Amino acid sequence: MNKLIIFLSTIFAIMLLSVSCKKNIDTVQNPKPDNSTPFVPEQTLKEKAPFPIGASIDPTHLKTNLRYKNVLIKEFNSITPENMMKMNMIQPAPNRFDYTKADELVNFAIQDKKRIHGHALIWHESLPTWVQNFQGDSLAWENLFKTHIQTVVGYYKGKLAGWDVVNEAIGNDGGTRNDNTNQGSIWRRKLGADYVARAFLYARQADPDVLLFYNDYGQESNPKKLQAIISLVQDLKRRNIPIDGLGLQMHIDINTSEAGINYAIQESVKTGLKIHISEIDIALNPSNSTLEKPTAEMLERQRQKYLMVVRAYKNLVPKAQQYGITQWNVGDADSWIRSYLKRNDFPLIFDVNYDRKPSYYGVLEGFK
Ligand code: XIL
């Protein structure tokens, strides 16, 4: 009898112990939800943006850099090929059109349901050497010009939302770039000033639906150039030349005047065209001083400037005219300011590791 009692009480003790152990394990593995800190799903730019938010991209990064690709997929809903639709890439030899690289970007964007903005049909830079050396009368030049526009626009018909038809036709002096300096445009010299209007007409003939943009830089810091651009597009509109939008590249820096930015946006809005902030980057080291990494103060000023631009765009551009904002590439290491302008800078909203910078949060705040 005693033995039985000892046996039963041992079993009971073991049962009690195992229940209490399980309880402990449960509390550790499945802690009670803490209602004081509600779960907030991660927010990305494209989920929060009240208008399309884009980045310019290139196929090499897209193929070789997984972080670049992931940030692009997660954060942006619009893309602009940074270089692959420029004339030197797409028509490297007379009448030899090569869409291979551009199509890598277009196919990626279609698959990922991103909007595509074409850039740029007619520009005095990024020309193939055969165009720079081309010898021909005005008819031959006109034919070359028209064929390029209509072949490329026709090829992408139905796939693109918009095209930068003419890029940077106005000089920094407000003039028309009719000279042989590096400020000059071969198109202006060979085709006459009204080539801009004809470029839009040819593009419209090749695709009745794609939005057609005039794209330029410096409007925010050069009022004379801003007025020349506005006069140019107003003249096109008056003559019923098909133009739908105006691109303000917005390559600025942390010192660029707010008043200048607001004024450029306001004056552009008055044209009634869609407004695209088409290539934004905000340099924080415009004087190119030795700088291993940005100071906290620089990053904060950059955050404020991104916030200011995005807020101005949201508040000053009526909804129907908002085509969106595009950043010029994805992470600081990819910026043309480093590779092309050879300046040491950190101008974007993702750092060299594709982590979000203070400027990223400035953009998010600007959406509100
Ligand atoms: C730049 C690209 O970012 C560089 O990679 C390239 O070497 C030169 O062109 N204005 C424009 C863009 O409209 O096409 C330019 O892009 C930057 C200035």
- Could you report the per-residue pLDDT of 71-82, keeping only the tens digit for each? 999 999 999 999
**Of 78, 156, 84, which is closest to residue 112 (Cα–Cα)?**
78
334 lines ligand 1 (CB under 6 A): no
Identify the active-site residue in 75, 82, 220, 279: 279
Tell me the pLDDT of the chain averaged across its residues. 92
Residue 28 has pLDDT above 90, yes or no: no
Dihedral-angle region of residue 177 (phi above 0 means left; psi in -120 to 50 means alpha; beta otherwise): left
Q: Could you tell me the two tokens for 2? A: 């005693």
Span 79-100, pLDDT tens digits:
999 999 999 999 999 999 999 9
Q: Is 42 a catalytic residue?
A: no
Ligand 1 atom closest to the CA of 217, numbered from 1: 10
Span 12-23, pLDDT tens digits:
555 544 444 444
Q: What is the pLDDT of residue 20?
A: 45
Q: What is the pLDDT of residue 58?
A: 97
Could you tell me the distance, in angstroms and rounded to a whole number, from the CA of residue 62 to the centre of ligand 1?
A: 18
Q: What is the pLDDT of residue 299?
A: 98
Q: What is the pLDDT of residue 26?
A: 43
Among the listed ranges 32-41, 72-81, 256-265, 314-323, which one has the minimum average pLDDT value? 32-41
Angle between helices 195-206 and 223-238 in degrees, nearest 10: 50
**Of 108, 120, 172, which is closest to residue 149 (Cα–Cα)?**
120
Q: What is the pLDDT of residue 25?
A: 44
278 lines ligand 1 (CB under 6 A): no
**Which residue out of 56, 336, 345 has the highest number of ligand 1 atoms within 8 Å of its CB and is therefore the one to mutate?**
336
Q: Which residue has the tokens 């300011």?
A: 337
DSSP annotation string for 268-284: HHTTT-EEEEEEEEEES
263 lines ligand 1 (CB under 6 A): no
**Which residue out of 58, 82, 182 has the highest number of ligand 1 atoms within 8 Å of its CB and is therefore the one to mutate?**
82
DSSP letter for 255, please.
T
**What's the count of helices (H) and strands (E) in the chain, helices before strands?**
15, 9
From CA 335, how far away is CA 68, in angstroms rounded? Answer: 13
Torsions phi, psi of 323, nearest 5? -90, -25
Sign of the alpha-carbon dihedral angle for 255, 283, 340, 264 = negative
From CA 325, how far away is CA 172, in angstroms rounded? Answer: 23
* Exposure letters 122-157 (e unless 16+ CB within 10 A, then b): bbbeebbeebeeeeeeeeebbebbbebbbebbebbe
From CA 331, how far away is CA 335, in angstroms rounded? Answer: 7
**Of 159, 39, 182, 14, which is closest to residue 99 (Cα–Cα)?**
159
From CA 48, how far away is CA 44, in angstroms rounded? Answer: 6
User: What are the E-state strand segments in 162-206?
Assistant: 162-167
The whole-number average pLDDT for the span 109-120 is: 98
Span 201-228, pLDDT tens digits:
999 999 999 999 999 999 999 999 999 9
**Among protein residues, the one whose CA lies closest to atom 16 of ligand 1:** 82
Q: What is the pLDDT of residue 203?
A: 99
Measured from the Cβ of residue 170, the count of other Cβ atoms closer than 10 Å reads 26
Ligand 1 atom closest to the CA of 215, numbered from 1: 13
83 lines ligand 1 (CB under 6 A): yes
Could you tell me the distance, in angstroms and rounded to a whole number, from the CA of residue 121 to the centre of ligand 1?
A: 13
Residue 29 has pLDDT above 90, yes or no: no
Q: Could you tell me the two tokens for 105? A: 């970007």
**Among protein residues, the one whose CA lies closest to atom 1 of ligand 1:** 336
Identify the active-site residue in 75, 82, 104, 168: 168
**C-alpha angle 316-317-323 in degrees, rounded to nearest 5:** 150
Span 125-140, pLDDT tens digits:
999 999 999 999 999 9
82 lines ligand 1 (CB under 6 A): yes
Ligand 1 atom closest to the CA of 56, numbered from 1: 3
249 lines ligand 1 (CB under 6 A): yes
From CA 24, how far away is CA 238, in angstroms rounded? Answer: 79
167 lines ligand 1 (CB under 6 A): yes
Band (5; pLDDT cuts 50, 70, 90): low
Q: What is the pLDDT of residue 2?
A: 55
**C-alpha angle 277-282-283 in degrees, rounded to nearest 5:** 150
Q: Is 125 a catalytic residue?
A: no
Could you tell me the distance, in angstroms and rounded to a whole number, from the CA of residue 336 to the centre of ligand 1?
A: 7
Q: Supply the pTM of this predicted model.
A: 0.89
Span 132-183, pLDDT tens digits:
999 999 999 999 999 999 999 999 999 999 999 999 999 999 989 988 888 8
- Which positions ≥6 away from 132 have C-beta within 8 Å? 186
Q: Residue 325 in contact with residue 54, Cβ under 8 Å?
A: yes
**Of 109, 206, 125, 139, which is closest to residue 169 (Cα–Cα)?**
125
Residue 42 has pLDDT above 80, yes or no: no
From CA 267, how far away is CA 269, in angstroms rounded? Answer: 5
DSSP letter for 92, please.
S
Q: What is the pLDDT of residue 72?
A: 98
